[in-house]
């Protein structure tokens, strides 16, 4: 787990007077699913583009597989598959032809058999000969995943891979990423706006804001996984608040509105809390527990 796949140090990129990236630092290790978080305009895409040599950094260094990208570009990019922002293809060509073209310059297979096998893997069986012009966004995203994987890369960079996908598409992509890590031991960098997605999939993450990396580490450690926010819908909010504060001093009532009560608590206390409310004849209509990445993210970005 200690093999460094990516090392980004003091990365900066200036477009004229505009500093898109000021000082970004992070390390990705072999086998990581690495979450790359930041609000719009934070410098995520510029950083990812620097990592793939699409943009030349103004300062700092990117090392892939222990080698400086600038000096070993072709050698290290052979081991990388990527989708940047959205997958774009030659609309006038078929899915199989597109995949063949990208595979050829990636050092991957170009035989019909291998191409069809990959298209089958991403769920495009039967659409191999259809022109990409007629593909939905979800189908293009699947084709994008296929071109990312066709040359069997060690590192996969996915920039907003679920944007524009329907719920089933999001689940499919999420499962695919988890499968890549668990079954194929791939290292994945995942940039996404959907925090719950990062929370579920990633084991490590970095948050960047205004061109600076502000925190990096294990998702579990950063979020203190034992804690969560419980949203309770009860018939008597005042009574419920009293019970919780009296019986569970470590829990904190964050807010109450109408019949809803928001409590920050250790997850192990939730069942006891439900029992205590029931014992005092408080009617519990619904219980929703929310983990804390969203709050954590907002707190970090605001700070």
CA atoms within 13 A on the CB side of 49: 15
Q: Which two tokens stand for residue 71?
A: 């000096």
**Pick 75 or 235: Cβ nearer other proteins:** 75
Q: How far is the CB of 214 from other proteins (least distance, A)?
A: 24
Stretch that binds other proteins, among 72-80, 171-179, 213-221, 241-249 (CB under 8 A): 72-80
User: How big, in percent rounded to 5, are the helix, strand and coil portions of the chain?
Assistant: 35, 30, 30
**Pick 6 or 240: Cβ nearer other proteins:** 6
Q: Is the distance from CB of 223 to CB of 300 less than 8 angstroms?
A: no
Q: Is the distance from CB of 139 to CB of 87 less than 8 angstroms?
A: no
Q: How far is the CB of 203 from other proteins (least distance, A)?
A: 25
**Pick 73 or 210: Cβ nearer other proteins:** 73
**Pick 118 or 195: Cβ nearer other proteins:** 118
| Three-state secondary-structure class, residue 291 | coil
| By the rule CB under 8 A, 28 interacts with other proteins | no
Rounded distance, CA 164 to CA 72, Å? 35
| By the rule CB under 8 A, 87 interacts with other proteins | yes
Tell me the residue length of the chain: 303
**Pick 114 or 236: Cβ nearer other proteins:** 114
Stretch that binds other proteins, among 70-78, 221-229, 244-252, 255-263 (CB under 8 A): 70-78
Selected binder of other proteins within 59, 90, 255, 299 (CB under 8 A):
90
Instruction: Give Cα 106 to chain centroid, integer Å.
Output: 24
Rounded distance, CA 165 to CA 187, Å? 23
Burial class of residue 281 in the structure, from the number of CB atoms within 10 Å of its CB (0-12 exposed, 13-18 middle, 19+ buried): exposed
**Pick 36 or 297: Cβ nearer other proteins:** 36
Selected binder of other proteins within 10, 41, 85, 175 (CB under 8 A):
85
List the one residue out of 62, 60, 19 whose CA is nearest residue 43: 19
Contact code string over 102-141 relative to other proteins, x by CB under 8 A: x-xxxx----------------------------------
| Three-state secondary-structure class, residue 254 | strand
Q: How far is the CB of 84 from other proteins (least distance, A)?
A: 5
Q: Is the distance from CB of 142 to CB of 158 less than 8 angstroms?
A: no
Q: Which two tokens stand for residue 187?
A: 């290292």
Q: How far is the CB of 197 from other proteins (least distance, A)?
A: 23
| By the rule CB under 8 A, 214 interacts with other proteins | no
Selected binder of other proteins within 47, 82, 192, 213 (CB under 8 A):
82
Straight-line distance from the first to the last Cα atom of the chain, in angstroms, rounded to the nearest whole number: 31
List the one residue out of 208, 194, 136 whose CA is nearest residue 177: 194
Q: How far is the CB of 47 from other proteins (least distance, A)?
A: 13
**Pick 48 or 273: Cβ nearer other proteins:** 48
Which positions touch other proteins (CB under 8 A)? 15, 49, 52-56, 73-78, 80, 82, 84-93, 97, 101-102, 104-107, 147
């Amino acid at each position: 787990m200690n093999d460094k796949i990516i090392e980004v140090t003091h990365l900066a990129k200036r477009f004229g007077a505009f500093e898109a990236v000021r000082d970004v630092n992070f390390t990705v290790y072999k086998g990581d699913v690495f979450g790359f978080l930041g609000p719009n305009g934070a410098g995520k895409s510029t950083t990812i583009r620097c990592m793939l040599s699409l943009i030349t950094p103004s300062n700092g260094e990117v090392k892939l597989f222990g080698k400086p990208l600038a000096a070993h570009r072709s050698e290290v990019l052979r081991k990388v598959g990527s989708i940047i922002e959205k997958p774009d293809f030659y609309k006038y060509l078929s899915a199989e032809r597109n995949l063949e073209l990208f595979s050829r310059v990636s050092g991957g297979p170009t035989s019909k058999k291998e191409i069809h096998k990959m298209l089958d893997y991403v769920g495009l069986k039967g659409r191999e000969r259809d022109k990409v012009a007629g593909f939905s966004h979800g189908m293009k995203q699947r084709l994008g995943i296929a071109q990312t994987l066709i040359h069997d890369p060690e590192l996969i960079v996915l920039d907003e891979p679920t944007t524009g996908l329907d719920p089933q598409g999001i689940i499919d992509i999420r499962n695919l990423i988890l499968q890549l890590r668990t079954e194929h031991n791939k290292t994945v960098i995942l940039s996404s706006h959907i925090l719950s997605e990062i929370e579920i999939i990633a084991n490590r993450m970095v948050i960047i804001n205004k061109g600076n990396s502000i925190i990096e580490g294990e998702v579990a450690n950063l979020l203190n996984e034992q804690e969560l926010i419980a949203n309770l819908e009860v018939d008597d909010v005042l009574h419920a608040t009293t019970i919780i504060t009296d019986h569970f001093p470590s829990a904190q009532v964050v807010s109450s509105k109408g019949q809803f009560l928001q409590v920050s608590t250790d997850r192990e206390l939730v069942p006891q809390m439900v029992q205590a409310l029931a014992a005092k004849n408080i009617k519990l209509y619904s219980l929703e527990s929310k983990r804390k990445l969203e709050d954590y993210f907002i707190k970090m970005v605001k700070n």
